[in-house]
Amino acid sequence: MGNIVAIVGRPNVGKSTLFNRLTNSRRAIVNEEAGTTRDRQYGKSEWEGREFSVIDTGGWVINSSDVFEGEIKRHVTLAIDESDVVIFLVDVQNGITDYDLEVAQILRKCTKPIILAANKADTFEWQYQMPEFYKLGLGEPQMVSAINGLGSGDLLDRLLTHFNPDVTEEIEAELPRFAVVGRPNAGKSSIINAFIGEDRTIVTDIPGTTRDSIYTRFNKFGHDFYLVDTAGIRKKAKVNEDLEYYSVVRAIRAIENCDVCILMIDATRGIESQDLNIFSLIQKNKKGLVVCINKWDLIENKESNDIKKYEVSIRERLAPFVDFPIIFTSVITKQRILKVVETAVEVFENKQRKVATAKLNEYMLPAIENYPPPALKGKYIKIKYVTQLPNTSIPTFLFFANLPQYVKDPYRRFLENKIRAKYDFTGTPIQIFIRQK
């Protein structure tokens, strides 16, 4: 179970640079413009074998140039609410500003572990400026340079000491875990209630690993699985919070804890950028996917080919990954609700599917011979053998070739499509590796 680390601090202390360093993402363009893609605010990181997620809250503050008190408070409290550890970033070259004092005041009241990191300490000379930061009242400042990596190992070591232990014992490992995700108001809570229905007695709520994911055991109609429910938890009294931010962070929690995501899309609104963000999170975490077009009953004068058109347009928006089931539902009329569960179970099974090596070679090698990888620089690429790796979280195929580095993405997609055409991997991502034979 991953922990979530949030980076807070005033604009231009280097939050995005630190984020890029922790997540190893070389997104070279660190854009200070507010509202740049939401995607760059979330990444996965690993240290000493522990995986965790990093959120860069910098991108959530709208018009960051003129941040006023309320905005600061909201931005910091959101980060505190949703994360397990907070890194408070200050700038050693600038010293303490009023903004830093504001943030520190909020953080001192918080019970979560806080690490005070003084950034831009690009050489050891800066260590003499460190004592100044003690007056923020947040303990010992950690010297770090996000640009050149100085002190980042020590920072990561300190993070690990604050992580929650991995607790998933209460959950039976064999049972699939499904998460219902989507934008606010797409019908997540309603579909969960529809699943659970009247017979609440059959359902056990196991508060999960984080205080946020609740695993609901569902066993009836011959199905047995856990619903990872994050949607209906902790309805905030104040509605003026940044819903976008919430729904994405909530989705992160749910997606990381599940096997298959049921992505709810509001039929009356179509696919919006928020849906695409959640979709890319599902991709990044390599989870199974069922797309559920809800509120289908509200679409007026449906014609017989409407569903087809709608499906095509959705697959176009979500390409290149198009091999996933789409179900049109209406929670109100209970239309096709059970189909959603059945399909999610099928996707879960597809994710576990193993193909015998002999069968795989018998089918794939002739296909590769008929359509070999394009020659590069006059060299011919030969693929000799293919096998599926055991014990992987998603189906992973290993192709052995004489010049693996010359096999480009379009050809990998060709291989993937060939595999999908023959074996049922609907709804699950596939990994393809090409190695030296």
What's the rounded Cα separation, in Å, for the pair 312 and 258?
A: 27
Q: At what angle do helices 243-256 and 273-284 cross, to 10 degrees?
A: 30
Q: Are 338 and 221 in contact (CB under 8 A)?
A: yes
401: phi then psi, degrees, rounded to nearest 5? -135, 165
pLDDT, residue 268, reads: 81
433: phi then psi, degrees, rounded to nearest 5? -115, 145
Q: Which spans in 371-425 are helix H?
A: 409-422
Q: Are 327 and 357 in contact (CB under 8 A)?
A: no
Residue 134, CA atoms < 13 Å, CB-side half-sphere: 7
Take residue 372 and report the two structure tokens written for it: 């070999």
pLDDT, residue 83, reads: 80
What's the rounded Cα separation, in Å, for the pair 334 and 301?
A: 20
Q: Are 290 and 324 in contact (CB under 8 A)?
A: yes
pLDDT, residue 117, reads: 92
Please provide the average confidence, as pLDDT, over all residues in the chain: 77
pLDDT, residue 165, reads: 67
Share above pLDDT 70 across residues of the chain, in percent, rounded to a whole number: 77
Take residue 321 and report the two structure tokens written for it: 């990954």
What's the rounded Cα separation, in Å, for the pair 72 and 206?
A: 35
Q: Which amino acid is at 291?
A: V
Take residue 267 and report the two structure tokens written for it: 């039929």
- From first to last of the 437 residues of the chain, give the pLDDT tens digit: 567 888 888 777 888 888 888 877 654 344 444 334 344 467 778 888 777 888 877 644 544 455 555 666 776 777 777 788 899 999 988 888 888 888 888 888 888 889 999 988 888 888 888 888 898 888 888 989 888 888 888 998 898 888 876 544 455 567 788 888 887 777 776 777 777 664 443 344 444 433 445 667 777 667 777 777 654 344 444 434 455 566 666 677 778 878 899 888 888 887 877 788 788 888 888 899 999 888 877 776 666 557 788 788 888 887 777 888 888 887 777 778 788 888 888 999 898 889 899 999 999 999 988 988 888 888 888 888 899 998 888 899 999 988 888 888 889 989 999 999 989 898 998 989 988 87
Q: Are 15 and 41 in contact (CB under 8 A)?
A: no
pLDDT, residue 420, reads: 92
Pick from 112, 120, 163, 116: nearest CA to 9: 116
pLDDT, residue 419, reads: 92
pLDDT, residue 27, reads: 47
**Long-range contacts of 41-50, Cβ-Cβ distance < 8 Å, separation of 24 or more:** 41/248, 42/248, 42/252, 42/281, 43/19, 44/2, 44/284, 44/285, 45/5, 47/156, 47/157, 47/159, 47/160, 48/156, 48/157, 48/160, 50/3, 50/160, 50/163
Q: Which residue has the tokens 């807070």?
A: 8
